[in-house]
Each structure stands twice: as structure tokens, then as C-alpha cells.
Amino acid sequence: MKKVLAVVVLLISTNLYSQNIYNKLMGYTNENVAMRDSATSKILHTTAKDLVVFSGIDNTHKGVYKIVFYKKVYYIDKDDVNFVFWKNINTDSINSLSPDEQSKLDSKAKYIGSLIGDSYFNKYNKFLDKARYYGVILDHYSNHKHDEYTDAQDFEVAFYNPTKKTIKYIWITLKGYNSVDDPVMFNNGRYTSTKQCIGPIAPRETSRYNFEYVWFDNIVEYGLIQRIKIQYMDRTIKIINNVSNIEPDMELQNRIDEIIKLGCDNNNEED
């Protein structure tokens, strides 16, 4: 899920700067922080890690950056936003930009910001909201051969915790299928088997699990998760009978990547 749940970060290459300084960046805000609207001075409080685009520096207030959130410009404290590829922004380099260079930076930031507001990003945000409701994101899962000396197969799975609570246990109910999509019986004489994933899985963390010798022959072509049960440290429980609700839409993710790349290409053509 690093690609999926890790907040998307974008480094846009242009030839704007003669001093080889960093260009505008996409980053993400911390949770529950305040951003001030540059036009109205109204305060917007973030409820999650929101995607933003670096647009400049507020020279009237020390330690404040100018960012674009969707299509609007805001001011935010530098400690409340993270630009992964730019750990320490060189304020002198930014301040030395010519008015024309600063204008280009602003326009490009707004352009990328508008892309973030695209319906695909809105759909992805809706998926995250749904995943928080169900309590977990199914990052990936697959079956694979245990080793070259046996026909046994293992099953691996990874979960991302999008909630604010720590996960204690996750139980997964597995079902294997052969090459003609018929279920394969386990050694216990049943078509399903339940495995326990032991936490803790802290908020916004991913944990991976590998179960060995789940199937003892090579008949199984693929394994599916039929049901998921989650128990949190506070003893609350959630049950997911339709795992598609917590699986990232990779087509949507790929589309988001295409939009970002399009933004890079279009902006570079302007230079």
C-alpha cells in the first residue's frame, strides 16, 4: 500500500530555475491542523492528511508556507506540512525568484492543485472514507509455492490500518480454487480455513503476514479471502463479509498516476 495509501508525492521537473533549486512539490498536511485562506483569511481545519502543492513562502509571517489545496491557495505553518522530497526548503532560493518565475510557480501549483480535485481523487478519498468505516485496507494478498522441494503453497497478506485505533487481531477465512474455478478442499475436509494475524497494527501502519503450508498440493491456482474479522485493542470487533469494500481499486490508482504524469507533461511543455 505504499503506492496506494502512502500519500502521493510529486516532484515536478522544470527548467525554471538557474540555481538548480527544487521545484514545487506535492506533499501532505498533518492531521487536525489549520490552514488560512489567502483570499478570505478563513481558517480550514484538516481532518486527515490532505494532498497539497507547494506554491511559495509567506514573507509576512515567519515559518509559513503558501500551498494550494485543490484549487485554492492557503497559508500553513511549515511544521504542519510534509514535502517528502524536500526536507528543508531553501527560503533564500525561493525569495530570489524573479516575479516571472514566482508567477510560473504559482500557476503551475494551481494547475496541479486542480488535478487533485479531479473526480478520480474524490473517488479515491471516498474509498479511504469507506475503508476507515470498515476498519482496515486489504493491501494485497496472494498464494505462492512454499519452495522448490514441495508442492505446498503459502499464503501472504498485508493490511493497512486507516483508523485511529490499534488493531489487536485479524482473522481471515481463506478459500482456494483450481484452474477451472472450482473450490479446493483443505485437509480438514472443509473448503475454508481461518488464519489469525497477530498485531499490533498501529494507526497508519502496514503489517504483512505469511502463512506456510496452507495447501499441501499444487492444485490451487489462486486463493481468496472470504471473510475478515478485526479486533481492536479496545475489544471492539468489526466483521467484513465483502472484502471488495476494502480492496484498493488499482485501475483508479493507475488513473491517478496518469493524471499526475499528465500534469507534469503539460507544465513542462509551457516552459
The pLDDT of residue 167 is 95
Mean pLDDT of 115-122: 64
* pTM (2 d.p.): 0.52
Taking the CB of residue 39, how many other CB atoms lie within 10 A of it? 9
Q: How far is the C-alpha of 204 from the C-alpha of 222, rounded, in Å? A: 29
Beta strands in 202-267 (DSSP E): 206-215, 222-232, 237-240
Residue 166's H or E segment, with its range, is none
CATH 2.60.40 positions along the chain are 136-248
The pLDDT of residue 113 is 73
The pLDDT of residue 271 is 42
Q: How far is the C-alpha of 91 from the C-alpha of 235, rounded, in Å? A: 48
CATH 2.30.30.40 positions along the chain are 26-117
Listed range (7-21, 61-75, 161-175, 256-270) with the worst mean pLDDT: 7-21
Q: What percent of the chain has pLDDT over 90?
A: 14
Q: Cell match 522544470: residue? A: 14
**Contacts of residue 107, Cβ cutoff 8 Å, sequence gap at least 6:** none
Look at 263 and 108; give whichever has higher pLDDT.
Answer: 108
User: Looking at domain 26-117, does it have CATH number 2.30.30.40?
Assistant: yes
213 confidence band (pLDDT: 50, 70, 90) = confident
The third-level CATH classification (topology) of the domain covering 136-248 is: Immunoglobulin-like (2.60.40)
pLDDT at 18 over 60: no
Listed range (47-61, 63-77, 131-145) with the worst mean pLDDT: 47-61
Asked if 107 contacts 13 with a C-beta cutoff of 8 angstroms, the reply is no
The pLDDT of residue 27 is 75
Listed range (60-74, 80-94, 151-165, 196-210) with the worst mean pLDDT: 80-94
14 confidence band (pLDDT: 50, 70, 90) = very low
The pLDDT of residue 16 is 30
Asked if 2 contacts 84 with a C-beta cutoff of 8 angstroms, the reply is no
DSSP-assigned letters across all residues of 57-117:
E-TTSTTEEEEEETTEEEEEEGGGEE-TT-SS--HHHHHTS-HHHHHHHHHHHHHHHHHHT
20: left (phi over 0), alpha (psi -120 to 50) or beta: left
Asked if 146 contacts 153 with a C-beta cutoff of 8 angstroms, the reply is yes
**Contacts of residue 251, Cβ cutoff 8 Å, sequence gap at least 6:** none
